[in-house]
Amino acid sequence: MKLYDAMAPNPRRVRIFMAEKGIELPIEHLELMEGQSRKPEFMAKNSLGETPVLELDDGRYLTESIAICRYLEHLYPEPTLFGKTAEEQAFVEMWTRRMEQLIMGPFGAFGIHSFEFFADKIEQVPAYAETQMRLIPKRWAWLDTEISDGRPFIAGDAFSVADITGAATLMIASFISYEIPADLKHVSAWANRI
């Protein structure tokens, strides 16, 4: 297998996942700012021109961060990051999706609708980017209430792929110098723990 990686939040989710399990794979690093993920050679691997991509041993290309992580979980089960029992797995998936859509989502939407890098890739709507920035503190406040039951990690007692999506979001937040509102004690404690 081989991972096509880049300095961006989604490939970072896979790299954190691999680091937690001690997985070492051949890695090819793409420079997104130099357009390496949009070259025909890479587009043949992922027609979306996006990272990460995992090249499987049979030559097929697997995309989408969480699909890659779940496949790696199958190959390298320890430590469990998608939950052990069916119920744990259900709540890890629920929280991974909530973290993606509600917490990471507005940061991502803000970025692709305001960063120069995306100007030639999508139809940017600056007014939409502004709504996303206004949404972010509300979403952190929602998360703060949700985890106010004292659980140490997003989906419960165990660190999981839901926390990894949170960690990737903190990476974006840091990149744009966004600080979690200090009065959100539970989220701030979780971020420090991560």
Q: In the complex, which residues of this chain contact a copy of itself (CB under 8 A)?
A: 47-48, 56, 58, 60, 62-64, 66-68, 70-71, 74-75, 86-87, 89-91, 93-94, 97-98, 102, 122-123, 125, 127-128, 131, 134-135, 142, 145-146
Cα separation, 163 vs 159, in Å, equals 6
The Cβ of residue 78 has, within 10 Å, a number of other Cβ atoms equal to 9
Minimum gap (Å) between residue 74 Cβ and a copy of itself: 4
Nearer to a copy of itself, 52 or 174 (CB): 52
Using a 10 angstrom Cβ sphere, with 0-12 exposed, 13-18 middle and 19 or more buried, the burial of residue 58 is exposed
Specify the 3-state DSSP secondary structure of 194. Answer: coil
Nearer to a copy of itself, 29 or 134 (CB): 134
Nearer to a copy of itself, 142 or 175 (CB): 142
- The one-letter amino acid code at 2 reads K
Nearer to a copy of itself, 74 or 120 (CB): 74
Minimum gap (Å) between residue 98 Cβ and a copy of itself: 7
13 Cβ contact partners less than 8 Å away, ≥ 6 residues apart: 65, 66, 69, 161, 164, 165, 167, 168
Nearer to a copy of itself, 15 or 113 (CB): 113
The answer to whether 56 touches 1, Cβ cutoff 8 Å, is: yes
